[in-house]
């Protein structure tokens, strides 16, 4: 059974909040982004536990998820991930960010 996570990021520029993932689920993620306006953005993940105090979180790029300027459909089967986010690096507008994590 899938555990959908939906997040809408409305920011001119900047970094979205980390969205914690189920670290015990399979590593498969489906990510759908919709760019509104003229934006350049990255989809990033971390191996660090974002909900723990005093943890330095290191963002890492998702393959084929950097320098995006249009709508994107990404299927990620990389490493296990603790959390995911959108980082708007340039432009004016917003990104709708939808994540579907596969089940057990």
Domains of the chain: 3-101 (2.60.120)
* Residue 104 burial (C-beta neighbours within 10 Å; 0-12, 13-18, 19+): exposed
pLDDT digits (tens, 9 = 90+) for 88-103: 999 988 888 888 887 6
**93 half-sphere exposure, CB direction, 13 A CA radius:** 16
Cα–Cα distance between 22 and 2 in angstroms, integer? 11
Query: Which of 98, 86, 68 minimizes the C-alpha distance to 14?
Result: 86
Residue with tokens 């974002």: 50
pLDDT digits (tens, 9 = 90+) for 26-69: 767 888 888 989 999 999 999 999 999 999 999 999 989 999 99
């Amino acid at each position: 059974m899938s555990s959908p996570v939906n997040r809408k990021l409305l920011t001119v520029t900047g970094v979205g909040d980390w969205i914690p993932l189920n670290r015990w689920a399979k590593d498969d993620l489906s990510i759908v982004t919709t760019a509104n306006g003229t934006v350049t953005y990255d989809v990033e993940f971390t191996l660090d536990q974002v909900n723990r105090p005093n943890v330095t979180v290191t963002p890492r790029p998702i393959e084929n998820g950097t320098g995006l300027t249009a709508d994107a459909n990404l299927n990620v089967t990389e490493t296990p991930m603790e959390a995911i986010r959108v980082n708007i690096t340039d432009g004016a507008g917003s990104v709708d960010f939808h994540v579907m994590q596969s089940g057990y």
